[in-house]
């Protein structure tokens, strides 16, 4: 917390605006949309809820296909299942770790030949970096398929001067407790289509019709963000740039200290924009360094330091093994390799330099203990 959040929360208590909706919800929506450059925004209970509403807005029905980045958290996929949709997974490209345009092109052409184009493509902007959206949007426009940007991890990132999450028909952000700014739990749906946002606003408040009594002619949800949590979000939004700067500095210290070790590489930053470096992710080449991410994670855990593997691809999840999957090239799956060799390091915005130096020292010690390491000059 920055400290500024308490002023907004105190105001909510002082004015007795505790329940969902209220002036902080309106203010948070207006300030967030102004910050990212969209015409409107809708504050919801989670990023998952925002994806669900976006899918309803594009007209998903039972049995519809939806293409989704495979290297992601399952929240990107669950809303497809809520509506009885059929996820089809698209591999990453090595340059960004995000959706591969060439895999997407093969998947779209296969769907066209089958006569079942997807109802939407959900592009995930992984670990704070935007996907390469120009070729993705060009492909989707050519096939008449809307793009939903899952920017849960990339608020504050840019793509060719535009805010991540604002290039597709709909964008979503998450304010979960682990995100770059947080409301403890919450999300936002953004779009330039104000009519669509108005419809989602109606659905998200139980789809109550305009009547004196409680009248409902459509299916609705209890998806709105509370006024108290929106107040926290307004305070957090004021320090977003500071949070991005802190995460990028953490990444740079890791890279400067560890990248000189042969066999260690870090998630690349694409030239088309700026990543927030929400999480610092690196890979270990097992042909050079005789260890695995799991062994390093266990070593750090023994010192009360949490690290994690990169996301397990969705096409490998037991729940989703029957879904189709299109690899970056016909012979090679980038996301499988990243999962096998990748590790996410402690990256919290409030991490101190001595704390990070301790993590770096322990990682270096582990790598050197496993075999002689060749270091570049």
Active site residues: 179
3-state secondary structure of 192: coil
Torsion sign (Cα): 375, 340, 336, 100: negative
Beta strands in 219-324 (DSSP E): 264-266, 280-284, 308-309
Closest to 269 in 3D by CA, of 98, 91, 111: 98
CB 233 within 8 A of CB 47: no
Q: Which two tokens stand for residue 185?
A: 């739990």
Q: What are phi and psi of 109, to 5 degrees?
A: -65, -40
CA dist 127 and 47 (Å) reads 15
Which helix (H) or strand (E) segment holds residue 282: the answer is strand 280-284
Residue found by looking up tokens 């009547």 in the block = 211
Closest to 276 in 3D by CA, of 343, 179, 176: 179
Closest to 188 in 3D by CA, of 203, 176, 205: 176
Q: Count CB-CB contacts under 10 A for residue 250.
A: 23
Q: Which residues pair with 284 in a beta bridge?
A: 264
CB 126 within 8 A of CB 69: yes
Q: What number of residues does the chain have? A: 377
Q: In this structure, are strands 158-159 and 162-163 parallel, antiparallel, or unpaired? A: antiparallel
Q: What are phi and psi of 347, to 5 degrees?
A: -140, 15
CA 272 remoteness from chain centre:
18
Which helix (H) or strand (E) segment holds residue 119: the answer is none
Rama region for 127: left / alpha / beta (φ>0; ψ in -120 to 50; rest): left
3-state secondary structure of 229: helix
CA dist 243 and 247 (Å) reads 6
Q: What are phi and psi of 348, to 5 degrees?
A: -60, 145
């Amino acid at each position: 917390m920055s400290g500024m959040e308490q002023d907004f929360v105190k105001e909510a208590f002082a004015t007795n605006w505790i329940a969902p909706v209220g002036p902080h919800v309106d203010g948070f929506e207006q300030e967030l949309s102004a910050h990212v450059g969209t015409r409107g925004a809708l504050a919801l209970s989670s990023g998952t809820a925002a994806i669900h509403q976006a899918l309803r807005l594009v007209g998903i029905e039972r049995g519809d296909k939806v293409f989704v980045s495979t290297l992601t958290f399952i929240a990107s996929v669950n809303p497809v299942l809520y509506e009885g949709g059929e996820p089809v997974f698209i591999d990453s490209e090595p340059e960004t770790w995000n959706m591969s345009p060439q895999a997407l092109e093969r998947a779209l052409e296969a769907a066209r030949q089958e006569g079942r184009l997807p109802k939407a493509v959900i592009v995930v902007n992984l670990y704070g970096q935007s996907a390469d959206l120009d070729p993705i949007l060009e492909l989707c426009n050519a096939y008449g398929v809307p793009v939903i940007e899952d920017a849960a991890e990339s608020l504050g990132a840019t793509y060719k001067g535009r805010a991540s999450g604002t290039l597709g028909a709909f964008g979503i952000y998450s304010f979960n407790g682990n995100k770059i700014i947080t409301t403890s739990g919450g999300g936002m749906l953004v779009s330039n289509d104000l009519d669509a946002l108005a419809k989602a606003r109606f659905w998200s408040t139980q789809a109550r019709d305009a009547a004196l009594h409680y009248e409902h002619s459509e299916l609705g949800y209890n998806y709105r963000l509370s006024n108290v949590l929106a107040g926290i979000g307004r305070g957090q939004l004021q320090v977003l740039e500071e949070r991005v700067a802190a995460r990028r500095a953490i990444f740079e210290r890791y890279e400067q200290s560890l990248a000189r070790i042969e066999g260690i590489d870090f998630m690349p930053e694409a030239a088309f924009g700026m990543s927030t470096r929400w999480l610092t992710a690196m890979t270990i080449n097992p042909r050079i360094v005789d260890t695995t991410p799991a062994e390093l994670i266990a070593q750090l855990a023994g010192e009360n330091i949490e690290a994690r593997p990169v996301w397990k691809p969705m096409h490998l999840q037991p729940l989703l093994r029957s879904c189709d999957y299109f690899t970056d090239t016909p012979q090679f799956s980038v996301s499988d390799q990243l999962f096998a060799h990748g590790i996410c390091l402690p990256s919290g915005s409030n991490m101190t330099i001595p704390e990070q130096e301790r993590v770096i020292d322990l990682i270096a010690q582990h790598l050197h203990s496993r075999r002689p390491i060749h270091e570049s000059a």
